[in-house]
Structure 1
Amino acid sequence: MSVYTQLTDAQFAEFCQRFGVAFARAIPITQGIKNSNWFIQTTDDNEGEHSYVFTLFEERPPSDIEKMAVILNQLVGKLPVAAPMALVDGKDKSYVIHYDNKAITLVPCLSGAHPQQTTETMCADMGAALAVLHETLQALQPSEDYGVALYPWNEVRDREIQFMPSDEAKLMLVIWQSYSDLPLDTLPKGLCHLDMFADNTLWHLDDNNETLSGLLDFTEVSVEHYVMDIAITINDFCTTWGDAEQGESVDFDRQKMAAFLQGYESKRTLNTDEKQALPVMLAKAAVIFWLLRLNVIHYNRTEGRTGDNIMVKNPDLMKRLAAYHWSHVEKA
């Protein structure tokens, strides 16, 4: 994730001590767009090694992050996740430090690397992992007590659509209406990740062998239709992203999508309504992340966020993916 809040080495040392960790060095992590993250090297690490990820959550309140800790502990043993460490300086078990009305967590580093590209095998494995996530989190009931509230994307839409060319606004609105017309009440819901992009996964990649070794960033876990979570994940895992500024299009691989769905259904079967809803969900999921990226640009501008550690993903790529998916809905 990008780094928005700056901390001193003395602050890092104090916070890490509360988790029982001897701090040596903090290394900024610049991928992503929402929270401030650093790798933490300890006094026991060798040169270049880091043992933990230190996260300062810029938007989610500490109560949401406590829920996230419960969710991650529910998944331990079922999926490759790293659960937040408990504080060692209090009587009550807690996983969160409160700092300037924000939450701080420390989690062990998972091994592996972010994939530069995906394969059909990786897509199938990711589909199976997402289904296991959906099934496992059903044990947390009522699910609304654990998931955070869904973001009000309709408000972002209403703000941003005023500044769009008419063809872009029309595309967004027609996809939104098509989503609203789905039989949403028949689509199963539960706790969903809602941000399972490839850069939120880790893999051991060697000798043409790909093994999933880490699932990251559970800050957006919310109660949502499972097929929306599937669509969000497919959109990234099955797409090769071009350079929008160079006029390159996105390349969506339908064979990868088939592999993903086969992997998913090896663990959880989709019902007929979910299968019929998926094409529209793929388009709507692209619209949501189109709006998300526009929203990040909006808040960076209004809050004066600048600097080399701020990364903004291009919203035009998601706009083009939304248009691709909508063209297939129209053809159906």
Structure 2
Amino acid sequence: MSVYTQLTDDQFAAFCQRFGVSFARAIPITQGIKNSNWFIQTTDDVDGAHSYVFTLFEERPPEDIEKMAVILNQLDGKLPVAAPLALLDLGADSAEKGYVIRYDNKAITLVPCLAGAHPQQTTQAMCYEIGAALAMLHETLQALQPAEEYGVPLYPWAEVRDREMQFMPGDEAKLMSDIWRAYSDLPLATLPRGLCHLDMFADNTLWDLSLSNSQKGAARLTGLLDFTEVSVEHYVMDIAITINDFCTTWGDAEQGETVNFDRSKMAAFLQGYESKRQLGEDEKRALPVMLAKAAVIFWLLRLNVIHYNRTEGRTGDNIMVKNPDLMKRLAAYHWSHVEKEQNTVFVLEHARCKDDDKNNDVEDFKLIGVFATEQQAQAAINQLKSQPGFKEYPNGFHIDAYPLNQINWSSGFDFY
């Protein structure tokens, strides 16, 4: 959230009146990068409190914002969201509620403030909770059909990629191209899709952090914000976008600090997500590449903001630009894991020990097979656990990862 369009107090008062709100003061919000936002204090607020958030959408057409209002109403009561206030001056003949003021071909909404604060850092417990919330969002919005009528069009990131890659160093352009190609090779046509948030960063969430000092990890989710990007997309892409922010500690790019991704937080997130919606095996296999592609998208988004700020002369203290280099580093991190997996095989074995042997001497050993991914090996375990010869010893399975260059295929199957 930033401030690009300037409004007077008289304009604020007139707009707020249309929502039935008595305006007292507007306070600019500088976090974020796309729209103009203010906290609104009313004549009833005291001690510096503010009751509403006033947003002027700089790029999205008003029709898209009306769709967002319907989406928020669908989620209201199931998740902590702030549904836009309805306009009071539509007239008795209006069959539907309206939520958007049109000003200078831009949309304006007023939503109630939600309690809580943006987290400065996340915990595994918070990652679990946001994972469960995202799954609930995916499940709940399936009621809005056809989904394409409610989601806004996806941004043409390929066009931004083609423009920006012309000016990138060769290694950066190759990284972006490799990730894009790997994404294109995924079974995109069969991966589950639906309405997705696509911007669920920690600064788009609110939490009750009051218990954190006395009870570690007890923060409670109190708000989900910024539904302007809701589109029809693969659920696993929405998962990847959220994981990338909630599970990453961001360093200062100017100081040369690295991006620290916490895989234990990712595991907690996925556990929370699957408590509400089970992931398919194809989604699990696609996730590593989706994590890299999601980082590329936000790398491009930040480059795009810099491009438009420059071409449109946007300057001033109220304009905040997030450094794209951090997302580039996260993309490189995820891609290194994809490349490592591409050069690794996973060997599944099963060992059965003698029942009366306290030394765990192996009575029977089976090499089950060699798999391209750990997820495939795990799927094999799930199938074999119920089969004769294995179901009596369900804990005897073991998966080992080996680099391809450590396997001597010429000897049948052996390791260097």
Alignment partner, residue 52 of structure 1: 52
Partner of 2:157: 153
Q: Does 1:289 align with 2:298?
A: yes
CA displacement 1:27-84 (0-9 Å, x = unmatched): 0000000000000000000021000000000000000000000000000010000000
- Name the counterpart of 1:68: 68
Q: Which moved more, 1:207-216 or 1:132-141?
A: 207-216
Give the aligned length: 332
Instruction: Give 1:323's match in structure 2, choosing from 297, 309, 332.
Output: 332
Residue in structure 1 matched with residue 257 of structure 2 by the alignment = 248
Confirm or deny that 1:194 pairs with 2:198.
yes
Aligned to 1:12: 12
RMSD: 0.4
The alignment status of 1:234 with 2:238, answered yes or no, reads no
Structure 1 residue runs of 4+, over 3 Å off? none
Are 1:133 and 2:137 matched, yes or no? yes
Structure 1: 5+ residue runs without aligned partners? none
SS in 1 for 2:209: strand
User: Residue 177 of structure 1 aligns with which residue?
Assistant: 181
Q: Give distance in 2, aligned partners of 1:41 and 1:166.
A: 50
Deviation at 1:121, TM superposition (A): 0.1
CA distance in 1, matches of 2:190, 2:265: 27
Question: Offset of 1:185 from its aligned partner?
Answer: 1.4
Amino acid at match of 1:41: Q
Question: SS at 1:183's partner residue?
Answer: coil
> What is residue 38 of structure 1 aligned with on the other side?
38
Distance in 2 between residues matched to 1:292 and 1:27, nearest whole Å:
26
Q: Secondary structure at the match of 1:185?
A: coil
Amino acid in structure 2 at the alignment position of 1:302? T
| 1:264-279 equivalence runs, <5 A | 264-279=273-288
Q: Counterpart amino acid of 2:287?
A: L
**Correspondence for 2:222:** 213
Aligned-partner SS, 1:117: coil
Post-superposition Cα deviations, 1:119-163, rounded to whole Å, max 9, x if no partner, equal 000000000000000000000000000000000000000000000
Larger radius of gyration: 2
Percent of counterpart pairs with the same letter? 85
Cα offsets for 1:87-146 (capped at 9, x unmatched)? 011123200000000000000000000000000000000000000000000000000000
Equivalent of 1:110 in 106, 111, 114 = 114
What SS does the corresponding residue of 1:106 show, helix, strand or coil?
strand
Q: Secondary structure at the match of 1:186?
A: coil
Correspondent of 1:99 among 100, 103, 109: 103
Give the Cα separation in 1 of the matches to 2:20 and 2:203: 29
Shift of 1:313: 0.3
The C-alpha deviation readout for 1:189-222, integer Å capped at 9, x for no partner, is: 0000000000000000123220000000000000
Aligned residue in 2 for 1:87 = 87
Q: Distance in 1 between matches of 2:211 and 2:75?
A: 29
Q: How far does residue 19 in structure 1 lie from its aligned partner after superposition?
A: 0.3
The alpha carbon displacement at 1:23 in A equals: 0.1
* d(CA) in 1 for partners of 2:40, 2:30: 14
> In 1, distance between residues paired with 2:211 and 2:140?
32
One-letter amino acid of the structure 2 residue matched with residue 313 of structure 1: K
Tell me which amino acid in the other structure corresponds to 2:310: R
Secondary structure, counterpart of 1:214 in structure 2: strand
SS at the partner of 2:219? strand
- Matches of 1:46 and 1:79 in 2, distance apart? 28
Post-superposition Cα deviations, 1:267-300, rounded to whole Å, max 9, x if no partner, equal 0000000000000000000000000000000000
Q: What do the CA deviations read for 1:211-257 (whole angstroms, capped 9, x no partner)?
A: 00000000000000000000000000000000011100000000000
SS at match of 2:207: strand
User: 1 or 2, which has the higher helix percentage?
Assistant: 1
Distance in 2 between residues matched to 1:118 and 1:237, nearest whole Å: 6
| Aligned match for 2:233, one of 224, 229, 232 | 224
Scaled by the length of structure 1, what TM-score is found? 1.00
Question: Which one has more relative contact order, counting CA pairs under 8 Å at least 6 apart?
Answer: 1
- Alpha-carbon distance in 2 for matches of 1:118, 1:234: 11
CA distance in structure 1 between the partners assigned to 2:190 and 2:10 by the alignment: 53
What letter corresponds to residue 10 of structure 1 in structure 2?
D
Residue 82 of structure 1 aligns with an amino acid whose one-letter code is: A
